[in-house]
């Protein structure tokens, strides 16, 4: 885990033609943990599929429901605490999280993403879905098929023991909240934050950690998309995007690393050197 680093974002062509994704959703960040398990990754491009009006609407519904990050921000982000929101600077008026509970007073805060980090969701029916979540959109109920990432149960239980856990997703609450109800059987998440808690910055939904109300040197974000933590890259523990590989061990492999982070006084002492390391 010592050589954990962020690689460039690559097109996932196997997803590009799926009707449940907007073209913009085909751009997913890919991070290599450095274990050698993912040193061969996709770098070729797929042609845009021919679509019908019905498929375009199907895509746009799913695109509005789930988070859609584009790796298109090469600019320096606004200073934490004063991010750009729809093109204008805005100072947060209040913190996103309630005061720390007594039982979490001496724990660090870990912010965990949902889609492609803990689960993968689709409108396309799959036979091995762990959950099927009905979501009403524009008067029509749609079935969302949810796959759990391998070892997500073990991961969440362990995180709940060590950290104050916060679910933070750029997806809409009408989808993400019922998924979290089914996923978090142990009440691990002390709070759930959704798209309305993100800052829309230069085409990306960004999770501004300075708005949480926690000491940033004791905050960690686990996320598959660098766009979500561009304001606070030195708080990030990057993970590879997950879609359907049932042999994936990413979450299991992360546990020892996060156990170590839980014990340090300042997460920057560990994460800053690793996230600035160039392999």
Could you tell me which residues are beta bridge partners of residue 111?
166, 221
The answer to whether 115 is a known catalytic residue is yes
Catalytic residue among 39, 104, 113, 181: 113
Locate 245 and state its tokens: 């590989």
> Residue 252: which residues within 8 A CB-CB, separation 6 or more?
150, 151, 154, 155
CA dist., res. 175 & res. 180, Å (int): 9
Could you tell me which residues are beta bridge partners of residue 192?
167
Q: What is the CA radius of gyration of the chain?
A: 18
CA dist., res. 162 & res. 189, Å (int): 12
Catalytic residue among 39, 104, 115, 181: 115
The answer to whether 113 is a known catalytic residue is yes
Three-state DSSP class for 251? helix
**What amino acid positions are annotated as catalytic residues?**
113, 115
């Amino acid at each position: 885990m010592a050589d954990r680093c962020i690689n460039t974002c690559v097109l996932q062509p196997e997803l590009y033609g799926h009707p449940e994704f907007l073209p913009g959703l085909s751009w997913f960040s890919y991070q290599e943990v450095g274990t050698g398990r993912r040193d061969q990754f996709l770098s070729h491009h797929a042609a845009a599929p021919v679509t019908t009006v019905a498929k375009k609407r199907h895509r746009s519904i799913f695109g509005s429901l789930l988070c859609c990050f584009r790796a298109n921000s090469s600019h320096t982000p606004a200073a934490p605490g004063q991010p750009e929101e729809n093109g204008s600077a805005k100072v947060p008026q209040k913190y996103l999280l309630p005061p720390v509970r007594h039982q979490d007073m001496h724990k660090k805060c870990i912010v965990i993403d949902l889609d492609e980090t803990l689960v993968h969701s689709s409108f396309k029916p799959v036979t091995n879905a762990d959950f099927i979540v009905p979501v009403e959109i524009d008067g029509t109920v749609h079935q969302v098929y949810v796959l759990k990432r391998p070892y997500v149960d073990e991961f969440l239980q362990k995180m709940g023991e060590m950290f104050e856990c916060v679910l933070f997703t750029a997806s809409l609450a009408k989808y993400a909240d019922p998924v979290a109800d089914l996923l978090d059987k142990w009440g691990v998440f002390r709070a759930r934050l959704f798209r309305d808690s993100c800052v829309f910055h230069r085409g990306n939904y960004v999770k501004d950690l300075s708005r949480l109300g926690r000491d940033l040197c004791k905050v960690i974000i686990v996320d598959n998309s660098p766009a979500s933590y561009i304001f606070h890259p030195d708080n990030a523990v990057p993970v590879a995007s997950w879609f359907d590989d049932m042999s994936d061990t990413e979450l299991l492999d992360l546990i020892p690393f996060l156990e170590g982070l839980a014990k340090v006084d300042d997460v920057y002492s560990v994460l800053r050197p690793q996230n600035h390391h160039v392999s």
